[in-house]
Amino acid sequence: MLRQHCASANAEHRALLLHGLGSSTRSWDTFLAHRPPSLEVWTAALPWRAGGPQAVPEADETDWIRESIRQIPGGPDIVVAHSYASVLLLTLLAETVARGADPREEFGISGAVLVSPFFREQTDDFSWAELPAFLDRLRLGAGEGIRLLSRKPLDSDLLSEMAEHSCAQLGPHWVVRYLNTYLRTPFLPVELVGLPVQIVIGDRDPIAPPTEGELLAGRLGNASIERIEGSGHTPMAEHPERFSLAVQQFLTTLSAGHTPAAVN
């Protein structure tokens, strides 16, 4: 389900925003209020959203991203993807170049912004012992999402209960899909992705380790990284003005025909 926001006859760029696992299009609301004025925005409500189906028959999650891109009239200039969706977008880009196609021609996009991505370089970087920690991160992510959308402070016990309920609603189907996507990142030929990519991370992210975003930026063929100080897993909601500036700067480099600045 796609929704258009901030349509303007003066819009210079068009962006598609993709939410993370167990989240929703509401995760972008604060950013939308601070978006670059020349940016037309579309959001996609994806199957792994909060309140969505607990299971789907389709085998390839990247198909939903591909279809969302193709449904936007005129196509997006950039795709901005958060967390789980950022890894799916990365997978789509890497698999596209692996079969000899150019994402710019395939999807008509000029660049991508990956927000709080997960990425590991070696299969040995994963261990059996850390599996419970993955579930804890999902609970933490659910709690952070609830806290940020709440209009008033929530008691810690209540927040924990709400986060657990959110994870129960999400169900095991999507959790296993998330883990499978994460576990496959060492096999992605990310170094072949020449599309300009901006990676945005929060330096206090307890869910997607910032070091993984830094590693990915160094592995991609044409990437830069923006570190937002004091931010956790959702910089677009926690620091919307800083996040908006990062998006605007990325768009400016694309408009000028330049690639992003080199990774620090």
- Which pLDDT belongs to residue 126? 97
Q: Which alpha helices (H) appear in the chain, and where do they start and end?
A: 29-34, 62-71, 84-98, 103-107, 131-149, 156-183, 210-219, 235-238, 240-255
Phi, psi (5° rounding) for residue 135? -65, -40
Report if residue 51 sits inside a domain.
yes
Q: Considering its fold, how many domains does the chain have in total?
A: 1
Report if residue 263 sits inside a domain.
no
Report if residue 176 sits inside a domain.
yes
What CATH number should be reported for the domain holding residue 84? 3.40.50.1820
Q: Give per-residue pLDDT as tens, 201-255.
A: 999 999 999 999 999 999 998 999 999 999 999 999 999 999 999 999 999 999 7
Average pLDDT of span 159-167: 87
Average pLDDT of span 7-29: 89
Lowest mean pLDDT among 36-40, 82-86, 152-156: 152-156
Mean pLDDT of the chain: 92
Q: Give per-residue pLDDT as tens, 199-213.
A: 999 999 999 999 999
37 has a pLDDT exceeding 90 = no
Report if residue 77 sits inside a domain.
yes
Report if residue 260 sits inside a domain.
no
Question: Nearest to residue 23, comparing CAs of 51, 54, 42, 63?
Answer: 51
State the pairing for strand pair 223-228/197-202.
Answer: parallel
Q: Which residues contact 114 (CB under 8 A, 6 or more apart)?
A: 81, 86, 89, 90, 197, 198, 199, 200, 213, 216
Domain hosting residue 161, numbered range? 2-255
Confidence of residue 174 (pLDDT cuts 50, 70, 90): very high
Report if residue 170 sits inside a domain.
yes
Confidence of residue 9 (pLDDT cuts 50, 70, 90): low
| Cβ–Cβ under 8 Å, residues 74 and 46 | no
Report if residue 262 sits inside a domain.
no
pTM of the model: 0.93
- Which pLDDT belongs to residue 6? 67
Please state, in angstroms and rounded to a whole number, the distance separating the CA atoms of residues 227 and 85: 19
Report if residue 261 sits inside a domain.
no
